[in-house]
Structure 1
Amino acid sequence: MSNKARRMLVLLLIILKEAGPTAACSSSCSWSPHCSRIDSCTWCDCSSRGLTSVPQDLPTNITYLNLRGNSITTLNQSDFLRYRSLTRLDIHTNRISMIHNKTFRNLTSLITLWLNNNQLTSLPADIFVGLGNLEDLDLASNNIHSIEAGTFIHTTKLRRLELQNNNISTITADTFGNLLQLQMLKLSHNNINTFPLEALSNLNISSLSELTLDNNQLETLPLMAYDILASISTVNIDNNPWQCDCRMAPFKQKMNGSYEFEDQIRCDGPANVRWQYLRNVNPEDLICEKTTPVYSTPSTKHTGPTAACSSSCSSDCDCSSRGLTSVPQDLPTDITTLLLYNNTITILSQSDFSRYRSLTWLDLRSNQISIIHNKTFHGLTSLGGLHLSDNHLTTLPTDIFEGLGNLWDLRLSSNQLTSLAADIFVGLGNLQYLYLYSNQLTSLELYLHFNQLTSLPAGIFVGLGNLEELRLYRNDIHSIEAGTFNDTTKLRTLDLQNNNISTITADILGNLLQLQTLKLSHNNINTFPVEALSNLNISALSELRLYSNQLETLPVMAYDILASISTVNIDNNPWQCDCRMAPFKQRMNGSYPFEDQIRCAGPANLTGQYLRDVNPEDLISLLVPRLLPRLNQQMQLLVAAAAKDAAAGPQVTVQENVDELVDNQSQTAAAPGADSPHHYEPLRNPSSQQQHTYTSLMPYGSQGN
């Protein structure tokens, strides 16, 4: 073949490759690289195309429609009328705030529906009419606050329901009544304040294998909750504001150390048991602040409402919920604990605590405090806990924490703070817990879940050398500078979930050698952070969450890293089960739970399968197979002409199925930045030398035989 003909052939292949994405979302999008006949393929990829509505010019027989990453705001009844064969519909990461009644009524074959990462606020009763065969429903990361009775009455075959990261506060008894085949229910990161006992009792508990209720507002657990939780193999109820008082006594009595959920109940109150685990609390210490306890045994202690806030109170003075408008000045001067929550105090002055210099715990949450004067807490050098959450604070004096070197628990959440002085936390070397969520902070990037942070500069955490927990979830963080965590060397928990992080560079986590929990789920991370994780002390890391990102492949080194971590979640990523996953697949032996979390999103012939079940021979490259079905008659003629001219120049081998063009007298050119010797890409604008050496589009030997 002449050099000119050879260059024309390669150029045509490149042009055909580049033309691929458009056809994937058009009247001809039923093409798939792994179907033997074009008209038998039923997959349309319309993702990330700026669409504002559902396209109506697609083949009517499609079974998989991918619309994720667009700008759709509303779904109407007519949107899917012509696509009645759909089995999978992916509309996640759009801007959907309205779904009209019976929008999905004709999608009777639909099995999987992704609606996560949108802007839904409620679920009306007839929203899922017609989805009688639906098995997987993902509604995570919306703004859902209400679910009408009967919403799921038509989805009787539902197995997986994801409602995490919303604003749900109540799960009524009839919410899940018809879901008798439900296996997984995720309700974490909401505002649920009461354990949904009746709703769960209406399920078939023997079928339910996973329940997540972590990061809600649960305070107590009824006795019957124990048997329900004990019947479910995977349970997470961690990080709730558990109140270990007399209401928890019946539940505590049932605990015997047999279940993991018993290790997830860490007391947020009362003060006498704060930060203890319920499993370790003496039953006699499960007391109620009111005169009449909810649960009583002969050994249960009671506290009187009057003596608790007077000159006769002991070292602990409970002045909560008394309608106070100022700090009482008639208490013993040597008190160590002062509870002033649920009053109507509006201003704190310099003299308010000057007589109580022995305080180690001060609780002022749920008042109406809008002003704190300079040096209000000056002199409280023994103070370890200061709670100012749920007030009306908009600013804080720059010297507010001056002298509080022993402070280890500081709570400023649920105020109206808009900014904080850069050096406001200087001197708080013993701080371990810092709560600043649900404010309006935009100018200072700090430990602030539920705010609007967009980046983390390098010096943000200077001075916080004893910080152990840092929660930054539910912001809009997209960049983290190198050195951001250099000073937080004792950090054990880092929560960066629900942001817009796309890359975790090698130097971001370098100094966190004591890190035990790293949560990175619900971001846009597209490359597994091998180098960043390798810089950690993997033997210390016990939990890693990377689910719901944009990960497509796993390098072989990732296997050993994941295998070293006891709790791993890499589920719900758009895994591409092609040749890039072959080395990782080769390491899999069924020993670790994460091997069951890799569900293929592509190629089309493997969509929905788990990588563990895929035949290694099917892990083929998408590059050339995407070209072959599009070779038109002109291409075929060109190949035939090239073969006829073979005797006139260097020999060219043309495979029967045109899987690969291999010049037997040349070398292949690896794409710059390729992560393995088997990753090749066509050269753009090849030099004169490269033009004569590059003819292979795939590594030799990867084609089918």
Structure 2
Amino acid sequence: MPNKTKRMLVLLLIILKEAGPTAACSSSCSSDCDCSSRGLTSVPQDLPTTMTQLYLHGNDITNLSRSDFSRYRSLTTLELHYNQISMIHNKTFHNLTSLTQLYLHDNRLTSLTSDMFAGLDKLQTLFLYQNHLTVLPGGIFAGLNQLWRLWLTGNQLNTLPADIFAGLGSLQSLYLSQNQLTSVTTGMFARLSNLHSLSVSQNYLTTLTADIFRGIRNLRYLYLSQNHLSTLSAAIFEGLGNLQTLYLSENHITSLPADIFMGLDNLQYLYLHQNQITLPADIFVGIGKLQSLHLI
């Protein structure tokens, strides 16, 4: 190959390398627009109105308003994590009726309005973890009938409205760990019949009512570790016959009822370590599928 041709090819490769990332966040990007980690302080308004996926994570955006996304009504995925967002104005996401994935985690949100997610009836994933939320308004998740992942880990929530999860019948994964919850209301999880994974670990729970998990019969994974629990009702796990993993470690439990694990026919992993428990001799009778038991 002649040297001149080689030089031209090298030059072309350099141009393509330099132009690639810019084109990914411009009017020339296709259905996927990657505007991540560019030092942006606002949402670009020169992107294709027909794009379906917009990646804005890792920027310096501090607030969002309705006009930011009014042009982008075809979005199905919107990634806004790892910004500096502290304010989301009313109806910011109002026109995004096709949205299925919304990532708002690792920002600086302290509060959300009750109609923040109104109209997002196709939403399947909502990540709000690692923010500074102290309270959630009642009805904030109303209408999110297709939601199956809701992660609220790592906020400062100390209480939740009793009906906060009402209507979320499709929910499969709910993470409430690393908050400041001192109690959860009876019936809060009652209609989450498709829930597979529930975490309320690393909170300040001292007691749980006997029927707190009633109704979530498809639960596979339950995380209750690193709370302040000292006693549990014998009936607390009643109806959880599909449970496979149970974390009760790092609490203040001193004793457990002899029949507390009765009916947990599919339990495989049980974590009881870092408590001060005196166990009845027959407490593990009936959980024949147990593979891993942590007591110390």
TM band (smaller chain): 0.7 to 0.9
Alignment of 1:500-539 (within 5 A): none
How far has the Cα of 1:266 moved from its partner?
4.7
The residue number in structure 2 matching 1:235 is: 222
The residue number in structure 1 matching 2:203 is: 216
The residue number in structure 1 matching 2:275 is: 276
Task: Read off the aligned partner of 2:279 and give its amino acid letter.
Answer: N
Give the conservation status (yes or no) of the 8 Å contact 1:112–1:135: yes
Task: Read off the aligned partner of 1:223 and give its amino acid letter.
Answer: A
CA distance in 2 between partners of 1:255 and 1:266 (Å): 24
Cα gap change, 1:181 to 1:18, in 2 (>3 Å): same
Cα gap change, 1:275 to 1:5, in 2 (>3 Å): closer
Instruction: Give me the CA root mean square deviation.
Output: 2.8
Selected match of 1:157 from 133, 143, 146: 146
Give the conservation status (yes or no) of the 8 Å contact 2:221–2:246: no
Give the conservation status (yes or no) of the 8 Å contact 2:56–2:79: yes
Alignment of 1:264 with 2:243, yes or no, is no
Task: Read off the aligned partner of 1:4 and give its amino acid letter.
Answer: K
Task: Read off the aligned partner of 1:145 and give its amino acid letter.
Answer: T
Please state whether the residue corresponding to 1:21 is helix, strand or coil: helix
The residue number in structure 2 matching 1:77 is: 66
Cα gap change, 1:12 to 1:208, in 2 (>3 Å): same
How far has the Cα of 1:85 moved from its partner?
0.5
How far has the Cα of 1:22 moved from its partner?
1.0
Cα gap change, 1:134 to 1:53, in 2 (>3 Å): same
Cα gap change, 1:126 to 1:100, in 2 (>3 Å): same
More helix by share: 1
The residue number in structure 1 matching 2:2 is: 2
Consecutive unaligned residues of structure 2, counting only runs of 5 or more, are 256-272, 282-291
How far has the Cα of 1:28 moved from its partner?
1.3
CA distance in 1 between partners of 2:187 and 2:146 (Å): 20
Higher relative contact order (CA 8 A, sep 6+): 2
CA distance in 1 between partners of 2:276 and 2:41 (Å): 50
Consecutive unaligned residues of structure 1, counting only runs of 5 or more, are 31-41, 283-541, 543-705
CA distance in 1 between partners of 2:75 and 2:235 (Å): 46
Q: Deviations over 1:518-540 (max 9, x none)?
A: xxxxxxxxxxxxxxxxxxxxxxx
How far has the Cα of 1:261 moved from its partner?
5.6
Give the conservation status (yes or no) of the 8 Å contact 1:65–1:89: yes
Give the conservation status (yes or no) of the 8 Å contact 1:267–1:278: no
CA distance in 2 between partners of 1:131 and 1:180 (Å): 15
CA distance in 2 between partners of 1:260 and 1:84 (Å): 41
Task: Read off the aligned partner of 1:25 and give its amino acid letter.
Answer: C
Give the conservation status (yes or no) of the 8 Å contact 1:237–1:264: yes
Please state whether the residue corresponding to 1:113 is helix, strand or coil: strand
Selected match of 2:120 from 102, 112, 131: 131
Give the conservation status (yes or no) of the 8 Å contact 1:51–1:70: yes
CA distance in 2 between partners of 1:157 and 1:230 (Å): 19
CA distance in 2 between partners of 1:228 and 1:137 (Å): 23
Alignment of 1:583-662 (within 5 A): none
Cα gap change, 1:230 to 1:59, in 2 (>3 Å): closer
The residue number in structure 2 matching 1:204 is: 192
Q: Deviations over 1:374-421 (max 9, x none)?
A: xxxxxxxxxxxxxxxxxxxxxxxxxxxxxxxxxxxxxxxxxxxxxxxx
Alignment of 1:455-534 (within 5 A): none
The residue number in structure 2 matching 1:28 is: 28
Selected match of 2:78 from 68, 89, 94: 89
CA distance in 2 between partners of 1:132 and 1:249 (Å): 38
Selected match of 2:111 from 104, 119, 122: 122
Give the conservation status (yes or no) of the 8 Å contact 1:265–1:277: no
Cα gap change, 1:241 to 1:109, in 2 (>3 Å): same
Give the conservation status (yes or no) of the 8 Å contact 2:222–2:246: no
Cα gap change, 1:258 to 1:72, in 2 (>3 Å): closer
CA distance in 2 between partners of 1:85 and 1:114 (Å): 17
Selected match of 2:41 from 52, 67, 70: 52
TM-score, structure 2 length as denominator? 0.81
Q: Deviations over 1:538-572 (max 9, x none)?
A: xxxx9xxxxxxxxxxxxxxxxxxxxxxxxxxxxxx
Please state whether the residue corresponding to 1:223 is helix, strand or coil: coil
Task: Read off the aligned partner of 1:222 and give its amino acid letter.
Answer: T
Please state whether the residue corresponding to 2:189 is helix, strand or coil: helix
Cα gap change, 1:47 to 1:277, in 2 (>3 Å): same
Please state whether the residue corresponding to 2:122 is helix, strand or coil: coil
CA distance in 2 between partners of 1:124 and 1:275 (Å): 40
How far has the Cα of 1:10 moved from its partner?
2.3
How far has the Cα of 1:197 moved from its partner?
2.9
Task: Read off the aligned partner of 2:248 and give its amino acid letter.
Answer: Q
How far has the Cα of 1:120 moved from its partner?
0.7
Cα gap change, 1:259 to 1:281, in 2 (>3 Å): farther
Cα gap change, 1:70 to 1:204, in 2 (>3 Å): same
The residue number in structure 1 matching 2:93 is: 104
Please state whether the residue corresponding to 1:224 is helix, strand or coil: coil
Selected match of 1:184 from 173, 190, 195: 173
How far has the Cα of 1:23 moved from its partner?
1.3
Please state whether the residue corresponding to 1:199 is helix, strand or coil: coil
Compare 87-96 and 18-27 and name the one that shifted more.
18-27
Task: Read off the aligned partner of 1:204 and give its amino acid letter.
Answer: L
CA distance in 1 between partners of 2:55 and 2:242 (Å): 44
CA distance in 1 between partners of 2:188 and 2:153 (Å): 16
How far has the Cα of 1:61 moved from its partner?
0.8
The residue number in structure 1 matching 2:15 is: 15
Give the conservation status (yes or no) of the 8 Å contact 2:115–2:140: yes
Task: Read off the aligned partner of 2:158 and give its amino acid letter.
Answer: S
How far has the Cα of 1:249 moved from its partner?
4.3
Task: Read off the aligned partner of 1:88 and give its amino acid letter.
Answer: T
How far has the Cα of 1:190 moved from its partner?
0.8
TM-score, structure 1 length as denominator? 0.35
Cα gap change, 1:161 to 1:170, in 2 (>3 Å): same
Cα gap change, 1:269 to 1:103, in 2 (>3 Å): same
How far has the Cα of 1:258 moved from its partner?
9.0
Give the conservation status (yes or no) of the 8 Å contact 2:130–2:155: yes
Structure possessing the higher radius of gyration over alpha carbons: 1
How far has the Cα of 1:4 moved from its partner?
2.1
Task: Read off the aligned partner of 1:276 and give its amino acid letter.
Answer: N
How many residue pairs get aligned? The number is 265
Cα gap change, 1:257 to 1:141, in 2 (>3 Å): same
CA distance in 2 between partners of 1:152 and 1:26 (Å): 33
CA distance in 2 between partners of 1:117 and 1:60 (Å): 27
Alignment of 1:397-408 (within 5 A): none
Please state whether the residue corresponding to 2:9 is helix, strand or coil: helix
